[in-house]
Amino acid sequence: MHTSHEARHTPQALAAPEWWRTAVIYQIYPRSFADASGDGVGDLRGITGRLDALDELGVDALWLSPFMVSPQKDAGYDVADYCDVDPLFGTLADFDELLAAAHARGIRIIVDLVPNHSSDQHPWFQAALTAAPGSPGRARYIFREGRGPEGDQPPTNWESIFGGPAWTRVTEADGSPGQWYLHLFDTSQPDFNWDSEDVREEFRRILRFWLDRGVDGFRVDVAHGMVKDPTFPDWTPDPQAASMGGDATPAPYWEQVGVHDIYRDWNRLLAQYDGDRALCGEAWVSTIEKTALWVRPDEMHQTFNFHYLETPWDASALRRTIDDSLTAFSSVGAPSTWVLSNHDVVRHATRLGLTAESPQGAGIGPDSPGLPDRSQALQRARAATALMLALPGSAYLYQGEELGLPEVLEIPDDARQDPTWFRTSGERYGRDGCRVPIPWEAHAPAHGFSATGRSWIPQPQGWGEYARDGQRHDADSTLSMYRRLLALRRTHRLGEGSVEWLDVKDLLGAEAAEVLALRNQGVVVLANLGADPVALPAAATVLAASTHLPSAQHGVERSSVGGAAALLPSDAVVWLVSPESPEFS
Ligand code: GLC
């Protein structure tokens, strides 16, 4: 059978496959994972108590969103003390216990590092507020004089990512209206000045603090934003572009070349430790080619592939993103990563069914246009996951996606917490809908999230239907599909493999423009993004499928076929092998 070889990709550096090149990394959003204290907010002991479930799921590593000391104005992404645990989440001893318990199960842990900004409650910012303009105390943040004769206009026209101006004016120690400080996010999140050697040295100390405790790496928040254009020009974003980057001409606060020196410095620091400690950048950058610059050999080890997350559910668009990603990342010797959901985006079990635009970070609510049919969207999400987990490199999962959780739309206004909601006076819903505490047991208080039944955002009606206990022993559940795919990904070493596109017509005996076919390590993956079912090759054995595969002859539903022709429905993905030959003929 003919296969097209022009699009074959082989990741480099197979000789020394560090763990992060192929790892499946599961994101824990601590406040919504498991609450051991019963106060309605998840905590570190809660995570330790639920590690067996993650072991059973079959992930390689956990990324913990921030649990450091914070006033929680942006759910912990506003850090007041980088080297201690917020009492809301527990203690450093709880962290050590969690790390040891994860390591005992062979699961690594990376923690979130937030270097673009601190909380306004950070002692350095408090000191900056009382320090004189131009003094070293102010130089750790970005203070500027205002414009206009009275200095009452912000220094630039920049908008905060959460809405509203990105500058706030302070009152000086003598009571007079004073300078302005930059906050790309909430007013409570002043941006650090990365020209300051104090800041650079402090972050080296913070990195060492966590590395010495034994963490396996860091997810680096807003890694594309730490350095600003020193001329501070005015700038107006392209309304079509994603709010966190994606403009053809990058904002003067995104993608500045100076960030790369910082990562090189950190790369050298991590290299002093054993165990392949890793840096993964959260970099919303305009193109995949530019994103690859973040992971040159002496910089970060991984970066989130948000281009994949943002690719529509369309066969040729997906194929192009996969090709471009593998080419760009392998050209610098880095693995590609793949991601579909996280705590900042509409969950993919809802997003992939939306029929209206939904800008990243804006969220959706009950009044949003183009809301999907829930079960259709889940079918598509399961297919998207089955395609993603077949790809070589490293994949990120977000807690709850293995349960098929949808975005929660019905959150009472007074329960919302995302600063986006407040800074836009409710015009943008924000990200609370993907952050609702996850269900463990259908019939327990708070569905097992918290023994007291408390939950910092109310869980919606019907949340128990997604509970883990109900899915564990159901072979057709989303959870069972994730477990099966993760186990097969491991056995077939798909993370280390390569993508070879197959000729769909040769494989299926008919044209099918909306079908993708690829082979990785002898596993053939077919993704049907078209509206009509397609017949699978008769000789193939099904390893896994994202949905029931009806039989071609009798229309009988079955989840696996051995030797008999079956149909691959619309919005479905199947993993196949053939005992005879990779081409099934
Ligand atoms: C990152 C985080 C997001 C946070 C923002 C500001 O994008 O993922 O949750 O609000 O940074 O720290």
Mutate to test the pocket of ligand 1, among 29, 73, 77, 280 (most ligand atoms within 8 A of CB): 77
Please state, for a pLDDT cut of 90, what percent of the chain lies above it. Answer: 88
Q: Name the 3-class secondary structure at 3.
A: strand
Which residue has a Cα nearest atom 4 of ligand 1?
77
Which residue has a Cα nearest atom 2 of ligand 1?
221
In this prediction, residue 583 carries a pLDDT of 52
Sequence letter at residue 198: D
Ligand 1 centre and the CA of 93: distance in Å? Answer: 26
In this prediction, residue 246 carries a pLDDT of 64
In this prediction, residue 12 carries a pLDDT of 44
In this prediction, residue 582 carries a pLDDT of 53
Each residue's pLDDT tens digit, 27-77: 999 999 999 999 999 999 999 999 999 999 999 999 999 999 999 999 999
**pLDDT band for position 240 (cuts 50, 70, 90):** low
**pLDDT band for position 2 (cuts 50, 70, 90):** very low
Six token digits for residue 218: 């860091």
Q: Is the CB of 112 under 6 A from ligand 1?
A: no
In this prediction, residue 1 carries a pLDDT of 35
> Is 6 part of the annotated catalytic residue set?
no
Task: State the Cα–Cα distance between residues 327 and 8, nearest whole angstrom.
Answer: 10
User: What are the beta bridge partners of residue 81?
Assistant: 69
Q: In this structure, are residues 154 and 147 in contact, taking their beta carbons and an 8 Å threshold? A: yes
Mutate to test the pocket of ligand 1, among 192, 221, 285 (most ligand atoms within 8 A of CB): 221
Task: State the catalytic residue, choosing from 191, 255, 282, 402.
Answer: 282
In this prediction, residue 553 carries a pLDDT of 60
In this prediction, residue 8 carries a pLDDT of 35
Q: In this structure, are residues 30 and 47 in contact, taking their beta carbons and an 8 Å threshold? A: yes
Q: Is the CB of 186 under 6 A from ligand 1?
A: no
Q: In this structure, are residues 43 and 89 in contact, taking their beta carbons and an 8 Å threshold? A: yes
Closest ligand 1 atom to the C-alpha of 186? 6
175 CB-contact burial (10 Å; exposed 0-12 / middle 13-18 / buried 19+): exposed
Each residue's pLDDT tens digit, 69-121: 999 999 999 999 999 999 999 999 999 999 999 999 999 999 999 999 999 99
Ligand 1 centre and the CA of 222: distance in Å? Answer: 7
Write phi, then psi, for 459 (nearest 5 degrees): -75, 140
Q: Is the CB of 284 under 6 A from ligand 1?
A: no
Of 236 and 30, more confident: 30
pLDDT above 80 for 561:
no
**pLDDT band for position 557 (cuts 50, 70, 90):** very low
Cβ neighbours of residue 322 closer than 8 Å, sequence gap 6 or more: 308, 391, 499
Task: State the catalytic residue, choosing from 35, 221, 418, 571.
Answer: 221
Ligand 1 centre and the CA of 97: distance in Å? Answer: 27
In this prediction, residue 9 carries a pLDDT of 41
Using alpha carbons, select from 473, 416, 397, 412 the residue that is nearest to residue 442. 473
The mean-pLDDT minimum among 251-265, 458-472, 540-554 falls in 540-554
pLDDT above 90 for 168:
yes
Each residue's pLDDT tens digit, 319-350: 999 999 999 999 999 999 999 999 999 999 99
Q: What residue has token string 């564990």?
A: 472
In this prediction, residue 17 carries a pLDDT of 86
pLDDT above 80 for 578:
no
Does the predicted TM-score (pTM) go above 0.85?
yes
**pLDDT band for position 169 (cuts 50, 70, 90):** very high
In angstroms, the Cα distances linking 526 to 267, 312, 387 are: 38, 17, 8
User: What are the beta bridge partners of residue 260?
Assistant: none
Cβ neighbours of residue 184 closer than 8 Å, sequence gap 6 or more: 116, 117, 158, 160, 161, 166, 191, 222, 225, 253
In this prediction, residue 450 carries a pLDDT of 98
Each residue's pLDDT tens digit, 515-527: 999 999 999 999 9
Q: How many CA atoms lie within 13 A of 41 on its CB side?
A: 11
Cβ neighbours of residue 367 closer than 8 Å, sequence gap 6 or more: none
Q: What is the DSSP string of 486-552?
A: HHHHHHTTGGG---EEB-HHHHHSS--TTEEEEEETTEEEEEE-SSS-EEPPTT-EEEEESS-EEBT
Q: Which helix (H) or strand (E) holds 290?
A: helix 288-291
**pLDDT band for position 558 (cuts 50, 70, 90):** very low
pLDDT above 50 for 5:
no
Q: What value does the mean pLDDT of the chain take? A: 93
In this prediction, residue 460 carries a pLDDT of 97
Kindly report the length of the chain. Answer: 585
Write phi, then psi, for 355 (nearest 5 degrees): -110, 5
Segment 257-283 mean pLDDT: 97
End-to-end alpha carbon distance in the chain: 7
Q: In this structure, are residues 23 and 495 in contact, taking their beta carbons and an 8 Å threshold? A: yes
Number of other CB atoms surrounding residue 580 within 10 Å: 9
Ligand 1 centre and the CA of 515: distance in Å? Answer: 36
Q: In this structure, are residues 319 and 501 in contact, taking their beta carbons and an 8 Å threshold? A: yes
Task: State the Cα–Cα distance between residues 83 and 85, nearest whole angstrom.
Answer: 7
Ligand 1 centre and the CA of 444: distance in Å? Answer: 32
> Is 367 part of the annotated catalytic residue set?
no
Task: State the Cα–Cα distance between residues 71 and 465, nearest whole angstrom.
Answer: 34
Each residue's pLDDT tens digit, 293-318: 999 999 999 999 999 999 999 999 99
Chain centroid to CA 331 = 23
Q: Is the CB of 77 under 6 A from ligand 1?
A: yes
Query: What would the 3-class secondary structure string for 455-481 be?
Result: CCCCCCCCHHHHCHHHHHCCCCCHHHH
Q: Is the CB of 247 under 6 A from ligand 1?
A: no
